[in-house]
Amino acid sequence: MIAKISWPNHNITSAACRWIGIYKDRKKSRKMSAFIEETKSLLPRIAFIACGCFSPPTPMHLRMFEIARDHFEMQGTHRVVGGIISPTHDSYGKKGLASSLDRCAMVKLATQSSNWIRLSDWEVHQNQWMRTQAVLQHHQNYINNHINSGGPGGDDEQDTHLAGWLPRGLHESRDPVRLKLLCGGDLLESFAVPGLWAEADIEDIVANHGLVVITRAGSNPGKFIFDSDILTKYQNNITLITNWVPNEVSSSLIRRLLGRGQSVKYLLDDLVLEYIKRQRLFNFKSKYITDAVRPNHLLFNHAYTDNNQNASSYSVSDQLEQDMDESDTPSPQLQHTATSRVFCCGEATLRGSKMQRSGPGQAVQVITMQADEKEESQAKKKKISQVQL
């Protein structure tokens, strides 16, 4: 006699089947995620660098980096490892140009919330204004030397002698990182201005580095590429990205509003606005400006100066309406004034009125301190007592 096998409950059997299906789906999903991550690690590595005045840095300056990274990640063609902001030298001499110390400090503040966009102050510490091609080549060479100097597993975070702008994790592989110039459509158009750019520089930038151009909706950057023999020759190295969320807030507009005593709150990062107020930049008139949020943990101090012997700031012009085109050549006549302030590095060792740097890329530093921190040294208390409010 053959005994019949009866299932205890049909519903339990169905639930068990569902759990088995879910387990298989999760296992398959984990395998797929691991495959995607492995595939990403094999993609060519790139980094962005933006050159310009940043007087002051606006949210759109930073949005360009995010828009560009999103594009390459969605296309799945490259892996973005870092972003670099390089303010121009003081001898650029444009109207409305704040001192390099102030501009670097504002960029530092604007990028505090980013874990991949960093300030490079190499350009501002040179003896003179540098061509864009030379700035790109310096940073590319530095990245190449860093990658070739070590192997996988290197700890970038613990090496205090590295430039502060250097993207982290470059030693994860020996694959090269190509540095691309990130810019707006107006810079691309400036290539067509006679005598503004050396053709050799344009060819070197496009051929050996590449352009990532953030364009406005409705513009026609392809026409400028077609009209240029050099750009057409290397058009495969030019990435055009349309910004579908327009933001027309420029540095020149910010300077104009500040000069008129109008509010720029919500047009700038609150920390950047607070810095402008404290330093009285751009003919700032505090009587009509809404106060920015003032974090208790952020210390401002004007007692520190840069260690560059030739550092100097330039007077801010009353004519704030003029646009500051990052591609313009520097003015031949400059008015020099002594540099008197820098955003502080509270742990730096003072020697007279100079600040020591531990390595390249560290000229302007930002430190934070908890408001309830009680165990402070006497020296630090003395510094805090000198803060200009």
Round to whole Å and give the CA distance between 105 and 98: 11
Q: Among the listed ranges 107-116, 146-155, 240-249, 372-381, which one has the minimum average pLDDT value?
A: 372-381
Query: What mean pLDDT do residues 338-361 have?
Result: 38
Residue 338: beta bridge partners?
A: 312
- Asked if residue 105 lies in contact with residue 70, where contact means CB atoms within 8 angstroms, the answer is no
Q: Among the listed ranges 13-27, 29-43, 128-142, 359-373, which one has the minimum average pLDDT value?
A: 359-373
Closest CA to 267 of 284, 283, 247, 282: 247
Higher pLDDT, 25 or 244: 244
- Asked if residue 305 lies in contact with residue 311, where contact means CB atoms within 8 angstroms, the answer is yes
* SS3 annotation, 14-41: HHHHHHHHHHHHHHHHHHHHHHHHHHHH
Q: Among the listed ranges 48-52, 117-121, 192-196, 251-255, which one has the minimum average pLDDT value?
A: 192-196
pLDDT at residue 384 tops 80: no
Question: For the whole model, what pTM was predicted?
Answer: 0.68
Round to whole Å and give the CA distance between 260 and 254: 10
Residue-wise pLDDT tens digits, 33-74: 554 555 667 899 999 999 999 999 999 999 999 999 999 999
The confidence band for 19, taking pLDDT boundaries of 50, 70 and 90, is confident
Question: Considering the chain, what percentage of its residues have pLDDT values greater than 90?
Answer: 50
- Token look-up 């531990």 returns 358
Closest CA to 74 of 239, 277, 222: 239
CA atoms within 13 A on the CB side of 239: 22
Give SS3 for 334.
Answer: coil
Question: Considering the chain, what percentage of its residues have pLDDT values greater than 70?
Answer: 62
What's the mean pLDDT when you consider all of the chain?
Answer: 75
The pLDDT assigned to 195 comes to 87
- Token look-up 């890329």 returns 361
- Asked if residue 306 lies in contact with residue 282, where contact means CB atoms within 8 angstroms, the answer is no
Round to whole Å and give the CA distance between 342 and 249: 26
Query: What mean pLDDT do residues 250-260 have?
Result: 94
The pLDDT assigned to 304 comes to 31
The pLDDT assigned to 2 comes to 57
pLDDT at residue 272 tops 60: yes
Higher pLDDT, 289 or 185: 185
Higher pLDDT, 322 or 174: 174
Check whether the bond before 56 is cis (ω within 30° of 0): yes
Instruction: Return the CA Rg of the chain.
Output: 26
pLDDT at residue 138 tops 50: yes
Higher pLDDT, 2 or 362: 2
The confidence band for 95, taking pLDDT boundaries of 50, 70 and 90, is confident
- Token look-up 């009209």 returns 227
Sign of the Cα pseudo-torsion (187, 85, 82, 159, in order): positive
The pLDDT assigned to 33 comes to 58
Tokens of 251: 């540095």
What are the angstrom distances between the C-alpha of 206 and each of 86, 130, 199? 18, 18, 11
Query: What mean pLDDT do residues 132-150 have?
Result: 94
Closest CA to 190 of 178, 174, 207, 205: 205
The confidence band for 149, taking pLDDT boundaries of 50, 70 and 90, is confident
What are the angstrom distances between the C-alpha of 41 and each of 26, 34, 36, 76, 78? 23, 11, 9, 11, 9
